[in-house]
Amino acid sequence: MLFHDIVEPFPDTAISECFRAHANTGSACSELQILQDSNLDPRHPAYRRLPPLLDMRQAHNRLFEHSFSDEASPGWQAALQRYKQVMSGPYGSTDLPIKMFNDLDTLIFHGDLKHRVNMKWEACDKVGISQSFGGTLLGLTIPPTTWSVPRIRIRINIDVDWRQLPRKMLIGTVVHEMLHAYYYVHCGVAGYQDVVTERGMDISHGVFFYSAGKRIEQRWGLELFDLQGA
């Protein structure tokens, strides 16, 4: 979340496997498996290709083109009810990010991330990623490559004590990473070459990222930006 969360891919660890989320019911289980499968590639029937490329401005504007019928649909409204219920709890938990992913995608990202993103917990400190960032790494997003990363990857840092932090910060971190993923979906690797115009911005958090992130924060009552970040 902080600084440059664009890094080289790293393999799944025993820790990321240990924190897999499992569904209570049979039908949702396969969705959770698809989300958490790091190896799902174009040969898999659930693999979903990326759409035609947009520039960052187009992708940004697309995010806020919600039609009335879109938000009136039963699926959207059901996701909204679940969101309100879940967000009434005070603290984070390890089950939340993975189980909420598809609802967050439906509510905020038009469902554009479904099956295109692989998300898991990871012990980012133990795989040696966070030292180079100087601050607390909350999560990171890795663009797809043709070699070892067939899909966009989001990793949420299990080394952060989320049970002590407000739920809106954990889910805000997840949505922050999902916003990176959204720009990768629509803009490819240009999705982290944003225009930087103000202090506090950087190449992966420029005007289009900030503008979208701030609107999402306000509408959904989340914290997407870490204020202690320099």
Chain positions contacting Zn ion, by CB under 5 A: 1, 5, 66, 70, 110
Rounded Cα–Cα distance for residues 102 and 100 (Å): 6
Q: What are the structure tokens assigned to 91, written together? A: 């603290």
The distance of closest approach from Cβ of residue 180 to Zn ion in the complex, given in angstroms and rounded to an integer, is: 6
Nearer to Zn ion, 19 or 109 (CB): 109
DSSP 191: G
The distance of closest approach from Cβ of residue 33 to Zn ion in the complex, given in angstroms and rounded to an integer, is: 25
Nearer to Zn ion, 21 or 108 (CB): 108
Rounded Cα–Cα distance for residues 57 and 209 (Å): 10
Report how far Cα 151 is from the mean position of its chain's Cα atoms: 13
Report how far apart the first and last C-alpha atoms of the chain are (Å, whole number).
12
The distance of closest approach from Cβ of residue 84 to Zn ion in the complex, given in angstroms and rounded to an integer, is: 17
Nearer to Zn ion, 22 or 66 (CB): 66
Nearer to Zn ion, 17 or 70 (CB): 70
State whether residue 224 is helix, strand or coil: coil
The distance of closest approach from Cβ of residue 221 to Zn ion in the complex, given in angstroms and rounded to an integer, is: 18
